[in-house]
Amino acid sequence: MPSGVIFNFSERVGLLFSIESGIASILASTFVLSFALFKWLKRTVNSWGRGNLMRSDASDSGLFLNLMFADLIQACGWLPNIKWMVDATITDGHLCTAQAVLKQVGLVGTCLTSLAIALHTFGVLVLRWKPSRHLNKAIILCVWVVTALIVIIPAATPRNEPLYGPAGFWCFITPRWKTLQLTGMYLWIWIAAFSMLILYSIMFGVMRGWLNIGGSPNGEAPVDSEEDKQAKAIAKMMLFFPAVYIFTILPNSLARWLTTAGHDIPSEFILFGNTVFGSSGFLNFILFLLTRPAIVIGETITVEHVPNLPLHSPSISKHSYSDTSHMGQLPDFSQGEQREQRQSSHLSDGDVHQPSPTAESPFMYHLAATGRPYGRSKGAQLALEDDDESYGRLPS
């Protein structure tokens, strides 16, 4: 049945803008998720039978993709506004209930995922965590379990009047249940926003050098490895996502606060807040293109497999191409060991013997794996020529 509220022309134009922002977010979120799925399938097929797939992304893209999925659900909640705009009123029924549920699920999922990204960034950047990819999967599972509990428990509770219905310019928890409106969505939105402000204020101070957390006693920060530098670079890019979240929820939250305080809010401001709210998925899509293009163009892939080595050397498996600890490094020898190494490397007639690469020789393994010929350096050649009696021959 109609809600009894008739929208005027300017209000219907405002609904049109909210519809457009919702459609833009749907297209953007679908684009990102579809390309991520396509690239994953392509990498899986290309690496089939070559070993385990290893990604160089230290932050794991799962949290970002989960954010886009929540944005997609939220954006779908704006589509029923098409009917409300055409009819100039809201009709209570199944479509109204579906809009309310979609908006609640999408908004709660978005705020919890944004908070998870903030905590992840804080841990990597400030506390120097190295979270595993399995931890992020568990976080995503927890996000949707908590979201389901927030939505299902109030909806399953028996009550005399329906929980969902017309609420202003869209369908949501009706104004009769103000407490459930707060605990069912707005409370989580504000908790996430304030938590992000605190976390990112600390992170900003750390990046600017104003705060020293986990550094040395004399105030010098610990030296970062290349992996740490990469993780920090990713974490700095992740700062933009919670910033977009706060920007999108601020106008709507401000309108809600003022309405709760008894102020009369112009409908134009409320509809503007709805439009900004609905553009969350589109803005996150822009950020993906600017800061996380690997989600679209594909990530760096390594495979835990090394092909058979030349010169009839044994094959070595379970090595990643990105693992430099097993190749490209000379073994540590003392001076005595170096002399024995050189003595055992030459024949008694003075000819140089080229040992075949083996698994016990990391340096030779690297040369064979890269296809480079083995030869002495200039310094080694001069040393052999200057002291051939001591090093170039075996004792008789």
Q: Which residue has the tokens 């530098």?
A: 229
Q: pLDDT at position 300, please?
A: 53
User: Using an 8 Å Cβ cutoff, are 199 and 118 in contact?
Assistant: yes
Domain limits for position 342: 324-391
Identify each DSSP E strand in 129-270 by its residue range: 164-166, 171-173
Strand 53-55 and strand 301-303: the pairing is antiparallel
Residue 87: φ, ψ to 5° = -80, -15
Q: Which residues have CB under 8 Å from 313's CB, separation 6+?
A: 356, 357, 358, 359, 365, 368
Q: Is there a single domain that holds both residue 340 and residue 274?
A: no
Of 274, 303, 332, which residue is a domain's last? 303
Which sign, positive or negative, has the C-alpha torsion 279, 289, 189, 66? Answer: positive
Q: Give me the long-range contacts of 363-371 (CB less than 8 A, separation at least 24).
A: 363/329, 363/330, 363/331, 365/309, 365/313, 365/316, 365/326, 365/327, 366/327, 366/328, 366/329, 368/309, 368/310, 368/311, 368/313, 369/306, 369/309, 369/327, 371/310
Q: Answer yes or no: do 99 and 16 share one domain.
A: yes
Q: Cβ–Cβ contacts within 10 Å for residue 259, how many? A: 14
- 332 and 187 share one domain: no
Taking the C-alpha atoms of residue 271 and residue 269, their distance in angstroms, rounded to an integer, is 5
Instruction: Say yes or no: 16 and 111 in one domain.
Output: yes
Helices (H), 47-186: 62-76, 81-87, 94-125, 133-156, 178-181
Query: So what's the pLDDT on residue 84?
Result: 94
Give the number of C-alpha atoms closer than 13 A to the C-alpha of residue 385, restricted to the C-beta side: 7
On whether residue 310 sits in a domain, the answer given is no
Question: Does residue 112 sit within a domain?
Answer: yes
Does residue 222 sit in the same domain as residue 366? no
- Please name the residue that has the structure tokens 């309310």: 100
Please tell me whether residues 273 and 360 are part of one structural domain.
no
Q: What is the pLDDT of residue 2?
A: 57
Whether 369 and 327 have beta carbons less than 8 Å apart is answered as yes
Cβ-contact 207, 238 below 8 angstroms: no
Specify whether 17 is located in the same domain as 83: yes
Residue 252 lies in a domain: yes
- Flag whether 319 is in a domain: no
pLDDT along the chain (396 residues), means of 10: 77 93 94 87 76 50 88 94 93 93 94 89 81 83 95 88 88 87 86 88 76 59 64 66 82 81 84 90 84 59 49 44 40 45 46 44 39 46 46 45
Task: Tell me if 299 is assigned to some domain.
Answer: yes
Does residue 123 sit in the same domain as residue 162? yes
Residue 230 pLDDT = 65
Is 330 contained in some domain? yes
Biggest CA pair distance of the chain: 111
Tokens standing for 60?
């794991």
Q: Is residue 309 part of a domain?
A: no
Q: Is residue 314 part of a domain?
A: no
Cβ-contact 112, 143 below 8 angstroms = yes
Query: How many domains, the chain?
Result: 2
Query: Is the domain of 359 the same as that of 289?
Result: no
Q: What is the CATH number of the domain that holds 191?
A: 1.20.1070.10
Q: Assess contact for 162 and 195: CB atoms under 8 A.
A: no
pTM reported for the whole predicted model: 0.68
The verdict on 205 and 351 lying in the same domain is no
pLDDT of residue 265: 84
Q: Which residues contact 320 (CB under 8 A, 6 or more apart)?
A: 54, 302, 303, 304
Burial class (CB in 10 A: 0-12, 13-18, 19+), 278: buried
Q: Are residues 71 and 157 in the same domain?
A: yes
Q: Are residues 77 and 113 in the same domain?
A: yes
